[in-house]
Structure 1
Amino acid sequence: MTTKHTVAILGPGGTGGLLAALLSHCGHRVICLAQDRTADTLRRGGITVRSPQFGEFTAPVEADTELREPVDACLIAVKHTALDAALTRVPPAALGDALVVPILNGVEHPAVLRARYRPERVAPAVIRVESTRIAPGVIEHGSPFTELDLAGDSVPRPRLDELAAALGSTGATARVVEDETAALWAKMAFLAPFALLTTRYGRPLGEVRTRHRAELEALVAETAAVSRACGAPADPDRALGRYDAFPPGAKSSMQRDAEAGRPLELDAIGGALLRAADRHGVPVPVTARLVGELRAAGH
């Protein structure tokens, strides 16, 4: 029987809201941390999920504007562009012995969190999912899978195993991986081409992978080269196969943000990729061009 946990979710949006609802639905205690209006909505109505994998359900959650008590884990699921401001909702003194689990895009955020919280309790995670908050407390989960990899090179393994079991009890796939660098770059190597191309051309993945196939293949090769230079394995053919398996209407979160006029995680994804390439002397001309074009467009 899975131990019931108390989990805080900073950022109950597409990803955080889905995980909050799934955990609550399985009997775990969930505290969502958000601004006043969102917190009030969640307290009153919970979180409704519409999902091809989990069905449609509404799960009750607690909600507050700030963490005020120790928890077993705090999942950080805000956009990178909002990270600094959002972290004020999680005072280090309130965490107790909690794991801090960032589920952010990019590869540079773990250092930020380890500077603020106990380094040996920061456990970076990556998630493979398409999930969108269409209104406060309403989540549309579009992908037929929800897969999480938990890492943390200095985190006690039993703590990671316990959290993976709690997440796995929801029906999501959760596992502990040994190599944090490999986990973060595996996500980056998939996400960067997807995000940059769908946002640059304003088209869903199905169109991008056919109309702009050469650019997609070049981006995959470039990100794989940077990943290897950073000490992580890379498999370009597997990445391309995953793109081809995705629903054709899939959009990246960066593309959705661009369509909605929200700030983009361009620096956390494209910028971080360029910085890593520069540090290791890896040429990435297609990546550099696309990032430059997006920046020139005002992003």
Structure 2
Amino acid sequence: MTTADVGAFDVVLMSTKSYHLHDAIEDVLPFVHSETIVIPLLNGIQHLDVLDSAFSKTQVYGGVAFIESTLSEDGHILHQGANALMMYGRRTHSAPPSATQVEKALSSVSDIKSRENIESDMWQKYMLITILSGATTLFHTDVGTIRTSTSAGSFIDRYINEVARLIEQIAPEMDAERLQQKAKRQWQNLDASFKASMQKDKEKGQAVEYEHIQGYLLEKAKAYHLDAPALQVVYANLELYEQIRKGDFQ
């Protein structure tokens, strides 16, 4: 895609890392018109505010992707595992006239599901990715190895509880107890060799989305005057990693 391309897009899928979002918005702006549907597939939730500011809120849908992937050394995207699922949905009752046509086209793809309450799906995915990325980057290993440690397991339980309480505070419709129980089941059922993509990025010395994932929740904890010591430890570990990676010391 270049600015030499002709025409405008009916739908834009935003699947960048959070630290590339602003550049991606600038890249697609020449191709977006009043009826373009924008479906973000980023982890987290904070990007919705950014996209709502760049486009009309009625254009910006919610979306989540469940897929295990990573970058190869030469920059190619590698799909790991057999499963892949995308979910999307409207966040407002109104939508551009093109929405019906776009949704009809997407409905023909078996691995794409339309959802009535997509923001709930986004919060649940946010809960899961916050736990998995935080745990595997903090202990610098896979899920199975972490599960062998009683002390690490105790930390993960506290971390899950903190994150669930925070999400319920930000989005009261999300029940903390349900979030906790689901996250703990998912944690126990994961393949022992699983590592979050953030841990894989860390192992390669690449940038990580800690500000967008853990940082956003930590800022909300401060705003609501809630203690989040486990989240603080996870955030500090990732912040130090980024400082070392960038050589950013004074």
Matched AA of 2:228 = V
Percent sequence identity is 23
TM superposition shift of 1:109: 0.7
1:233 counterpart residue number: 175
Change (3 A) 1:246 1:171: farther
Residue equivalent to 2:39: 101
Q: Are 2:22 and 1:84 aligned?
A: yes
Partner Cα separation in structure 2 for residue 138 and residue 267 of structure 1 = 25
Map of 1:1-299 to 2, 5 A cutoff? Answer: 64-66=1-3, 68-91=6-29, 93-96=30-33, 97-134=35-72, 138-154=76-92, 156=94, 163=102, 166-167=105-106, 169-178=108-117, 180=119, 182-211=120-149, 212-230=152-170, 231=172, 232-234=174-176, 235=178, 236-299=180-243
Specify the SS of the correspondent of 2:110: coil
Kindly state the Cα deviation for residue 188 of structure 1 after the two structures are TM-superposed. Answer: 1.4
Q: CA deviation at 1:171?
A: 3.2
User: Which aligned segments of 4 or more residues in structure 1 are displaced greater than 6 angstroms?
Assistant: 157-161
In 1, distance between residues paired with 2:92 and 2:74?
A: 35
| Higher mean C-alpha displacement, 189-198 vs 133-142 | 133-142
1:162 is displaced (CA, Å) by: 5.8
TM-score under structure 2 length normalisation = 0.82
Q: Is the 8 Å Cα contact of residues 209 and 216 (structure 1) preserved in structure 2?
A: no
* Equivalent AA in structure 2 for residue 74 of structure 1: V
RMSD: 2.5
Gap change, CA 1:245 and 1:170, over 3 Å in 2 = farther
Q: What amino acid is the match of 1:296? A: L
Structure 2 alignment gaps of length 5 or more = 244-250
Q: Which residue identity is paired with 2:108?
A: S
Q: Distance in 2 between matches of 1:80 and 1:282?
A: 25
* 8 Å CA contact retained: 2:87, 2:118: no
**Is the 8 Å Cα contact of residues 150 and 164 (structure 1) preserved in structure 2?**
no
What's the offset of the Cα at 1:176?
1.1
1:192 Cα shift? 0.7
Kept in 2: contact 1:71–1:95 (CA 8 A): yes
How many Å separate the matches in 2 of 1:159 and 1:176?
18
Supply the distance in 1 between the matched residues of 2:98 and 2:164 (Cα, whole angstroms): 31
In the TM superposition, what is the alpha-carbon distance from 1:80 to its structure 2 partner?
A: 0.4
Residue 273 of structure 1 aligns with an amino acid whose one-letter code is L
